[in-house]
């Protein structure tokens, strides 16, 4: 039977253990499924931006508290990517910084480099080119050390785009070829496509249109739908760039054919609305240049409206400049001037000074009466722009040099810091040794001071004992005197009166009555004598109990005789001095001495008040004067006040000192008593 029960018990344990395990796995799988769903929906462009943000925040809430491993960092980068696609730059940067901190804590160089790249993207989006270039450069160095070919090329391409946007076209060209050199012979068709596409843009800006067409053709030929998803609309982008080159060459019919082909790409408006807006605007402009006004200015308005909904500042600027040019050709100076001035304000806001120059040219045509003013502005800005373009390449080169120099200096600083640690450690040991010596000396001084205080206390105690002995001797003598008075005087008289009264009891005549009356009067006199002796005894007891008060009163009398200051004193009669420890009485006496001495020596007071009272289980000594006062903070270093503080501390008491220059002084001492 026992064996059967044992088998059943094992089966139950296995069953419940498996159930718990399955339940735990279900919870984990449920969390993972939710995360996967949230990330998927955050990347669903069919949903509104707010909905995608909501799902991304839910995914972030799940990820952020998970263990700091490679999967956790990968998921955080996914969240960052989705914020990037939403143009939610604040949350994007916050997420990337979290990944960077986690990666640094585990010395994860792969994800550190990736985080640097993302931060470069962030600052590039905010047009902070210096910071963006520094982060790209840091990432480039790390990828080079790891021989990570693909990411090295991608980072160099990011640097090239940054330099292009800053107007450093030659520097951008070098960076692109450096990226292509890295991926030569590698399977990286997306890098190759973007590099060719970017070179087409560079040569278009430099006016080398033949090379621009050559690299745009290469870009179109390199598009691989398997590597580059169709949702990126790479072909539509390259067709727009090719058309833009022909537009700059004033070959508008050729340009129109490329723009129309680009607009015919499937799902373009949904996948890449900003590319669609560019193609519509470029098509409208080339049609305008060929005097084909069909669907104009509606196509310009369509592009402007889409760009404004997407908040594409640079696109809005181009649309308004072209609308101004269009209405100028139609002799509608009001609308032309309106769009020109709006675009001028916008160009200055985004610091696009090339566009500012074009708009100033347009304004000088629209308003010829102000052409001299616009021309002056044009010349000034053009000179500044040329100087800035000359400096821009030097700036990025200097950043690279200074970053390398900082790295070298950091290596030297490590050695210097090590040496400084040794030096500071030695100095710290020396300082500690000096501190110990000074502390020991201070303790020795404190011990000596306590010994001196103890000696002074012993002297005072001896004085008080001597006073006590003197009082005791007087009390014994007084007792003897009272005994003699009672024995020789009162008792003898009472005995005589009693005998005479006994003798008169047998007589009832008038003479006997008068004698009895006289004897009764004598008894009254004896009663009065006994009362006086009793009062004398009570005074003796009071003096015995209040001998401390007598000593203090002697101190006050000496003060009154010696100094001109008026002394007002009050001692609470409720205090039972016989219950107060001698140590407390001695310290209070010395505190009174010290306080009076300070008032006489420094205060030059007219009136000194001293009050000694009892409140519940505390004795309170209040000493005040109307003298010159002092600065409490500095005076606490003086020996006099140090003595008062020390003696109060000896009684476990508290000192409160209130004084200001010209306002007198109040010292309150509170001492506990049982």
Three-state secondary structure call for residue 607: strand
Q: Are residues 526 and 575 in the same domain?
A: no
Q: Which of 189, 150, 158 is nearest to 175 (CA)?
A: 158
Query: Range with the lowest mean pLDDT among 207-221, 343-357, 485-499?
Result: 485-499
Residue 178 exposure: Cα atoms within 13 Å on the Cβ side:
18
Q: Are residues 541 and 397 in the same domain?
A: yes
Which position has the token pair 């006099």? Answer: 640
Domain extent, residue 614, equals 548-672
The number of folded domains in the chain is: 2
What is the pLDDT at residue 416?
64
* Mean pLDDT for the stretch of residues 445-466: 67
User: Rounded to an integer, what distance in angstroms lies between the CA atom of residue 538 and that of residue 476?
Assistant: 14
Query: Which string of b and e fits 624-655 if b means at least 16 CB within 10 Å?
Result: bbbbbbbeeeebeeeeebebbbbbbebbebeb
User: Rounded to an integer, what distance in angstroms lies between the CA atom of residue 364 and that of residue 367?
Assistant: 5
131 has a pLDDT exceeding 70: yes
Q: What is the mean pLDDT of the chain?
A: 80
Between these two residues, 95 and 27, which has the higher pLDDT value?
Answer: 95
What is the pLDDT at residue 475?
61
Instruction: Say how many C-beta atoms besides its own lie within 10 A of residue 343's C-beta.
Output: 26
Last residue of a domain, one of 507, 529, 545: 545
Q: Are residues 502 and 519 in the same domain?
A: yes
487 has a pLDDT exceeding 60: no
Q: Phi/psi zone of residue 616: left (φ > 0), alpha (ψ -120 to 50 degrees), beta?
A: left
Radius of gyration from C-alpha coordinates of the chain: 53
C-beta separation of 252 from 230 below 8 A: no
Q: Are residues 504 and 590 in the same domain?
A: no
- pLDDT bucket at 213, cuts 50 / 70 / 90: very high
What is the pLDDT at residue 334?
92
3-state helix, strand, coil in the chain (%, to 5): 80, 5, 15
Last residue of a domain, one of 518, 545, 572: 545
- pLDDT bucket at 6, cuts 50 / 70 / 90: very low
Helix (H) or strand (E) holding 571: strand 566-571
Instruction: Say how many C-beta atoms besides its own lie within 10 A of residue 384's C-beta.
Output: 11
Q: Are residues 397 and 478 in the same domain?
A: yes
DSSP 368: G
Between these two residues, 70 and 408, which has the higher pLDDT value?
Answer: 70
Tell whether the torsion through CA atoms of 349, 352, 355 and 361 is positive or negative: positive
**pLDDT tens, position by position, 172-207:** 899 999 999 988 887 788 889 999 999 999 999 899
What is the pLDDT at residue 13?
44
Last residue of a domain, one of 545, 573, 599: 545
509 has a pLDDT exceeding 60: yes
Q: Phi/psi zone of residue 576: left (φ > 0), alpha (ψ -120 to 50 degrees), beta?
A: beta
Q: Is residue 60 part of a domain?
A: no
Q: What percentage of the chain carries pLDDT values higher than 70?
A: 76
* Model-wide pTM > 0.85: no
Q: Are residues 433 and 448 in the same domain?
A: yes
Q: Is residue 102 part of a domain?
A: no
Q: Are residues 406 and 475 in the same domain?
A: yes
What is the pLDDT at residue 98?
93
Q: Which of 386, 335, 336 is nearest to 362 (CA)?
A: 336
Q: Are residues 429 and 540 in the same domain?
A: yes
Q: Is residue 493 part of a domain?
A: yes
Query: Which string of b and e fits 175-209 if b means at least 16 CB within 10 Å?
Result: bbebbbebbeeeebbbbbbbbbbbbbbbbbeeeeb
Q: Are residues 529 and 563 in the same domain?
A: no
**pLDDT tens, position by position, 216-246:** 999 999 887 666 778 888 999 999 999 999 9
Q: Which of 317, 384, 371 is nearest to 344 (CA)?
A: 317
DSSP 639-661: HHHHHHHHHHHHTT-EEEEEE-T
406 has a pLDDT exceeding 60: no
Residues near 424 by Cβ (< 8 Å), separated by ≥ 6? none
Q: Is residue 340 part of a domain?
A: no
Q: Is residue 595 part of a domain?
A: yes
Q: Is residue 169 part of a domain?
A: no
Q: Are residues 418 and 489 in the same domain?
A: yes
Instruction: Say how many C-beta atoms besides its own lie within 10 A of residue 367's C-beta.
Output: 15
Q: Is residue 231 part of a domain?
A: no
* Mean pLDDT for the stretch of residues 32-43: 84
143 has a pLDDT exceeding 70: yes
Whether omega before 297 lies within 30 degrees of 0, making that bond cis, reads: yes
* Mean pLDDT for the stretch of residues 357-374: 86
Q: Which of 478, 470, 468, 467 is nearest to 540 (CA)?
A: 478
Tokens of 410: 């950091």
Q: Are residues 401 and 497 in the same domain?
A: yes
* Mean pLDDT for the stretch of residues 461-473: 61
486 has a pLDDT exceeding 90: no
User: Rounded to an integer, what distance in angstroms lies between the CA atom of residue 187 and that of residue 143?
Assistant: 17
What is the pLDDT at residue 555?
82
- pLDDT bucket at 116, cuts 50 / 70 / 90: very high
Q: Is residue 651 part of a domain?
A: yes
* Mean pLDDT for the stretch of residues 167-174: 87
CATH number of the domain bearing residue 555: 3.30.565.10
* Mean pLDDT for the stretch of residues 149-174: 88
Q: Are residues 582 and 664 in the same domain?
A: yes
668 has a pLDDT exceeding 80: yes
* Mean pLDDT for the stretch of residues 615-630: 87
C-beta separation of 609 from 625 below 8 A: yes
């Amino acid at each position: 039977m026992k064996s059967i029960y044992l088998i059943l018990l094992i089966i139950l344990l296995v069953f419940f253990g498996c159930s718990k395990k399955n339940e735990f796995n279900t919870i984990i799988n449920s969390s993972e499924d939710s995360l996967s769903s949230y990330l998927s929906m955050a990347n669903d462009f069919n949903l509104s931006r707010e909905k995608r943000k909501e799902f991304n925040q839910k995914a972030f809430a799940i990820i952020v508290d998970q263990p700091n491993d490679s999967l956790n960092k990968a998921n955080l980068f996914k969240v960052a990517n989705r914020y990037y696609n939403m143009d939610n730059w604040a949350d994007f940067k916050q997420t990337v910084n979290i990944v960077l901190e986690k990666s640094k804590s585990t010395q994860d160089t792969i994800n550190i480099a990736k985080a640097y790249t993302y931060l470069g993207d962030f600052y590039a989006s905010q047009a902070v080119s210096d910071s963006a270039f520094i982060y790209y450069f840091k990432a480039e160095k790390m990828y080079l050390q790891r021989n990570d070919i693909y990411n090295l090329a991608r980072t160099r391409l990011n640097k090239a785009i940054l330099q292009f946007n800053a107007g450093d076209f030659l520097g951008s060209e070098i960076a692109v070829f450096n990226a292509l050199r890295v991926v030569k012979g590698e399977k990286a068709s997306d890098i190759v496509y973007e590099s060719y596409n970017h070179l087409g843009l560079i040569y278009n800006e430099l006016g080398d249109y033949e090379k621009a067409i050559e690299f745009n053709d290469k870009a179109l030929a390199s598009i691989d739908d398997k590597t580059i998803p169709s949702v990126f609309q790479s072909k539509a982008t390259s067709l727009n760039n090719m058309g833009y080159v022909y537009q700059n060459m004033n070959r508008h019919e050729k340009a129109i054919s490329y723009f129309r082909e680009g607009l015919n790409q499937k799902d373009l408006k949904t996948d890449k609305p900003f590319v669609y807006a560019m193609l519509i605007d470029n098509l409208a402009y080339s049609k305008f240049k060929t005097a084909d006004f069909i669907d104009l200015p509606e196509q310009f308005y369509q592009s402007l409206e889409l760009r404004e909904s997407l908040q594409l500042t640079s696109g809005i600027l181009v649309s308004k400049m072209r609308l101004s040019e269009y209405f100028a050709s139609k002799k509608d100076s009001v609308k032309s001037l309106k769009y020109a001035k709006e675009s001028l304000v916008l160009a200055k806001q985004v610091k696009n000074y090339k566009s500012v120059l074009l708009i100033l040219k347009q304004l000088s045509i629209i308003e010829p009466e102000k052409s001299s003013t616009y021309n002056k502005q044009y010349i000034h800005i053009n000179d500044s722009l040329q100087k800035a373009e000359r400096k821009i390449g030097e700036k990025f080169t200097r950043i690279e040099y200074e970053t390398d120099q900082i790295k070298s200096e950091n290596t030297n600083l490590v050695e210097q810091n090590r040496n400084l640690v040794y030096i500071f450690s030695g100095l710290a040991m020396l300082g500690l040794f000096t501190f110990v010596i000074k502390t020991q000396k201070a303790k020795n001084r404190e011990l000596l001071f306590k010994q001196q205080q103890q000696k002074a206390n012993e002297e005072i105690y001896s004085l008080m004992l001597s006073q006590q002995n003197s009082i005791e001797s007087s009390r014994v003598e007084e007792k003897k005197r009272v005994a003699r008075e009672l024995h020789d005087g009162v008792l003898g008289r009472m005995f005589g009166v009693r005998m005479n009264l006994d003798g008169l009891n047998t007589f009832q005549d008038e003479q006997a009555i008068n004698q009895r009356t006289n004897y009764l009067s004598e008894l009254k006199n004896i009663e009065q004598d006994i009362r006086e002796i009793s009062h004398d005894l009570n005074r003796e007891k009071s003096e015995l109990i209040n001998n401390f008060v007598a000593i203090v009163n002697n101190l006050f009398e000496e003060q009154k005789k010696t100094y001109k200051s008026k002394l007002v004193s009050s001692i609470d009669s409720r205090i039972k001095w016989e219950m107060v420890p001698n140590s407390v009485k001695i310290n209070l006496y010395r505190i009174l001495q010290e306080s009076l001495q300070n008032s006489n020596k420094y205060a030059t007071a007219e009136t000194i008040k001293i009050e000694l009272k009892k409140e519940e289980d505390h004795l309170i000594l209040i000493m005040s004067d109307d003298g010159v006062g002092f600065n409490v903070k500095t005076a606490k270093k003086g020996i006099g006040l140090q003595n008062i503080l020390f003696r109060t501390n000896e009684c476990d008491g508290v000192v409160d000192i209130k004084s200001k220059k010209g306002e007198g002084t109040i010292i309150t001492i509170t001492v506990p008593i049982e």
